[in-house]
Amino acid sequence: MTTASGIENLNSDPNQAVRRRRGSNGFEAIISSDVCGSGAGLETVNERSKLVGESSDGNGRNDGGSVANGGEESKGTTPYKFSYRASAPTHRRIKESPLSSDAIFRQSHAGLFNLCVVVLIAVNSRLIIENLMKYGLLIRAGFWFSSKSLRDWPLLMCCLSLQLLPLTAFLVEKMAQQRRMTECAVVILHITITTAAILYPVLVILKCDSAFLSGVILMLVACIVWMKLVSYAHANHDMRQLAKSMDKVETSDADYSYDVSFKSLVYFMVAPTLCYQLSYPRTPCIHKGWVARQFIKLVTFTGLMGFIIEQYINPIVQNSQHPLKGNLLYAIERVLKLSVPNLYVWLCMFYCFFHLWLNILAELLCFGDREFYKDWWNAKTIDEYWRMWNMPVHKWMVRHIYFPCLRNGIPKGVAILIAFLVSAVLHELCIAVPCRLFKWWAFIGIMFQVPLVILTNFLQNKFQSSMVGNMMFWCFFCILGQPMCVLLYYHDVMNRKSSTREASFRG
């Protein structure tokens, strides 16, 4: 049957254009592909092709399909006459609703994402207007620069003098390489150096009446120097052991180089990594334009963080009560109100430090491995979050805490607990020392992650492909945990200052 004869038959006998085929649903209308595609737009091309079936000739060619290419039917004179007969079945396959649990992750949610962005802009615009009407503009002239910051010069000198400790560690390693010092003496000296890297800044901060932000920056630098020195000592110790074992193997192909290089140490101390090695993957050049753009973003988002803290977080905190001593419902309301600006600050901090600053530093140093974080926002368990949120610290923990514990026969669960314990101590030092207040809230908050790890792992194993753990992470960590710590530390610091003033007044 030719195309022309097919059109003639269609025009001469319209009833032959629709044929019936017996099936599981009674019968199914078989119509030409151009009939289904003539503007109705209700079925896909694959479904249309299924309907053609018996309208093709013996060679499988669809006669009706040529109607759309020419002839009288392409002019739209008769196609609607044969579209969707009342007797044709409408429901042909098993299908899920787009928001059902089995299909929700296979759908695109770009429209819902746009809706969330629009709602966030609308809600936060209202909050900005309400805040300005209630408090006015709280950013003062001394927000960026203040003469009071000059009193923090001892902290600056302490930060600069910390760089002498890596030089001391290098001298120790050089003597150890030349075998002028026993291994026991090397270990004792490294313990002394790393301990000084933590205790020296703590004593300076507690002795000087410095600002909280200056103390936090100094403690962060001290913790970074401490972790780098631990990695430097541990890696060199391991390389010495490997070199000694190679010396005992009398084979011609045993080639293992062990060198203590001052240049490698200097690069390591400024590189965006906490794990020491003799060489790192390097990029060929520096993209100066890219660095300039990222630096502008860094300044912008840092200013945004300061604005949110001054304009939104400070008034909420100052108008709140101690969360553990006041009304429970009032405390919950304050925590939830504080959670939104606190979350914005936390996300800006992550973007500024882990993405902008570390990438800028890596670009300037041609540092190749720039996996400073993974997609932690998709973490389904607390365990996944801690493995993806801060990759430099995670790699350091795995290399110098977790696997050394396993190699020494410590069970896996205990090794994880030790890693969390080290992290909790460092978090407590970075917050409690600048506050001059040891209430152990940060320590408790980090150690509380251990039962949350067990709980979210259990839920993930029970409800496969579920985001229950992800929602629990956002809820406990960002919505409740961080605002609660902010309120606790603020009120404890205020209580300490008021009691100090009262004592000095009485004296």
Backbone φ/ψ region at 134: left (φ over 0), alpha (ψ -120 to 50), beta: alpha
Cβ-Cβ contacts under 8 Å for 501 (sequence gap 6 or more): none
| Cα 179 to Cα 133, 175, 183, 228, 242, distances in angstroms | 71, 6, 9, 23, 15
Cβ-contact 163, 221 below 8 angstroms: no
Q: Which contacts (CB < 8 Å, 24+ apart) does range 119-127 have? A: 127/312, 127/340
Cβ-Cβ contacts under 8 Å for 504 (sequence gap 6 or more): none
Torsion angles phi and psi, residue 21, rounded to 5:
-130, 125
Strand partners, 407: none
CA dihedral 118, 119, 122, 125 (to 10 degrees): -100
What whole-number distance in Å separates Cα of residue 300 and Cα of residue 222? 26
What whole-number distance in Å separates Cα of residue 441 and Cα of residue 457? 25
Q: Which of 394, 400, 427, 491 is catalytic?
A: 427
400 is written with which tokens? 């110098």
Query: At which residue do the structure tokens 């960590």 appear?
Result: 477
Q: Looking at 41-163, list the stretches that DSSP marks H as alpha helix, in order from N- to C-terminal side.
A: 45-52, 110-135, 153-161
Please confirm, yes or no, whether 427 is among the known catalytic residues. yes
What whole-number distance in Å separates Cα of residue 444 and Cα of residue 507? 35
What whole-number distance in Å separates Cα of residue 210 and Cα of residue 205? 7
Burial readout 452-462 (b: 16 or more C-beta within 10 A, e: otherwise): bbebbbebbee
Which of the residues are catalytic? 427
